[in-house]
């Protein structure tokens, strides 16, 4: 069956927080140890008649939902989605619009994580400019 016609239960993903040990920025893993390869951060604004509790309840049962945050901005929340295929990820974003009471959903697809632990230039650690020093 095409992932576009699959319900969230037919996708076979585990609910958020089940068998995952990933923190923010870490690759999302499933209970069987395999990584989900496609991720997105979706900014959503709820419709005027949609309560926030409806979105929260929907996300609790959405297998692609990894994390979500209420934020103070032009949008109401930011949701982190992860899926095995880009098609399933697109479907999860579309489901937010159709089933979760979301009026506006803007998806930002994650290409790869930034490595903040190692310097970008191998010589930068020793020849760093004065302004790049410690603030302490």
Distances (CA, A) of 11 to 18, 25, 92, 97, 121: 15, 24, 10, 18, 42
Tell me: the pLDDT tens digits for 89-120? 999 999 998 888 899 999 999 988 888 887 76
Phi, psi of 96 (to 5 degrees): -60, -45
Residue positions counted in the chain: 136
Tell me: the pLDDT tens digits for 16-50? 544 444 444 455 555 555 565 899 999 999 988 88
pLDDT at position 77 is: 95
| E-assigned strand segments in the chain | 38-46, 65-70, 77-83, 102-110
Lowest mean pLDDT among 11-25, 65-79, 113-127: 11-25
């Amino acid at each position: 069956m095409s992932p576009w016609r699959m319900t969230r239960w037919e996708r076979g993903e585990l609910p958020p927080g089940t068998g995952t040990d990933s923190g923010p920025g870490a690759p999302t893993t499933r209970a069987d140890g395999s990584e989900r390869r496609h991720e997105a951060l979706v900014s959503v604004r709820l419709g005027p008649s949609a309560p926030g509790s409806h979105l929260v309840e929907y996300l609790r049962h959405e297998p692609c939902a990894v994390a979500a945050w209420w934020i103070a901005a032009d949008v109401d929340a930011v949701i982190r989605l992860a899926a095995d295929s880009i098609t399933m990820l697109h479907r999860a974003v579309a489901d937010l619009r159709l089933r979760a009471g979301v009026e506006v959903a803007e998806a930002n697809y994650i290409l790869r994580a930034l490595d903040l632990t190692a310097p970008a230039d191998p010589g930068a650690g020793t020849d760093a400019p004065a302004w790049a020093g410690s603030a302490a």
